[in-house]
Structure 1
Amino acid sequence: MRKLVIAISMLAFAGSAAFADPILDRQALMKERGKIVGGLAKVAKGEDPFDAAAVLTQLQALQANAEKLDVDALFPAGSDAGDTTAGPKIWEDMAGFKATEDKYLADVKAATAAAPGDVDALKGQINTLGGDCGTCHQTYRVKKG
């Protein structure tokens, strides 16, 4: 119980310190997102065994991650310069960028609500989410080096 209280306290503190540096904060959020999706992709590819409970936990973590992405806080004017791969199109088409992120969030919520019962169902969900990621990366991200 004590560990749970400490963990909750740490999360509350982390939440209050969130978005101090929008570039670093959005990069951390995207790295976390990539790690979660990467784990799900390994299961979908058969590299890791399918465990419905573990997959649901990962989908819930992905949903929590997606819900943290506050476009206005993480992509404020002026945060397009520096060590970032965020493309200028984000600020040129903020409404489109927000719509792309909203679609991703809706698809993550749908995947979580319809937790896959087998690998084939997970593959379909990963294809949908991967398509969302690809759309955003192709349209709103600058490739580095």
Structure 2
Amino acid sequence: MKKSLAVFSALFMLTSVASASPVADRQALMKDVGRSMGVLGPVMKGEKPFEAEAVQAALEQLKADAVKMDADTMFPKGSESGDTAAAPKIWEDEAGFKAEIEKFRTATAAAADAKPQDIDALRVAMKDVGASCGTCHQAYRVKK
């Protein structure tokens, strides 16, 4: 029984991995980034109160999402068509795109590691994160 369950679990995992598409994977990851920014943005604008635990959780999630961003697996050649906002420049300027991902990783790690304790510290911590997002979206994302 245990052996059958292990085999079934392994097959299920392989099927799940095999059916995932790079477009769907990167869209899910970007939605996750958007959820974190949806927590942080209103706080930085003064629309919501600064709550250290919620802010830190969002920063840690951004940091974790940045680690998951891998140009080779999430943006492989052949995944530029279909329902995607990924701009052709991603594949035309792979080195530049990878450099932007690395900037995002560095910025999100620094922001999370700063552990801001008030809105002003959060704004400072998020400056490079916001700049990284904006640069990448301007150059490597198709405007819908």
Q: TM-score, normalised by structure 2?
A: 0.84
How many percent of aligned residue pairs carry the same amino acid?
54
Provide, for residues 23-70 of structure 1, a one-character-per-residue CA deviation record: whole Å limited to 9, x for no partner: 111011101101111210111112111111221111111111111112
Distance 1:115 1:17 in 2: 35
Partner of 2:21: 21
Partner of 2:67: 67
Partner of 2:108: 108
Partner of 1:88: 88
Distance 1:57 1:111 in 2: 11
Partner of 1:4: none
Aligned-residue Cα RMSD (Å) equals 1.6
Structure showing greater radius of gyration is 2
Structure possessing the higher relative contact order (Cα contacts under 8 Å, 6 or more residues apart): 1
Provide, for residues 74-103 of structure 1, a one-character-per-residue CA deviation record: whole Å limited to 9, x for no partner: 101110111111001000111110000100
Partner of 1:53: 53
- Report how many residues are paired: 130
Contact 2:107 2:129 in 1 (8 A): yes
Seen in structure 2, the aligned counterparts of structure 1 residues 121 and 58 have a Cα distance that, compared at 3 Å, is: same
Runs of 4+ displaced beyond 6 Å: none
Distance 1:46 1:77 in 2: 42
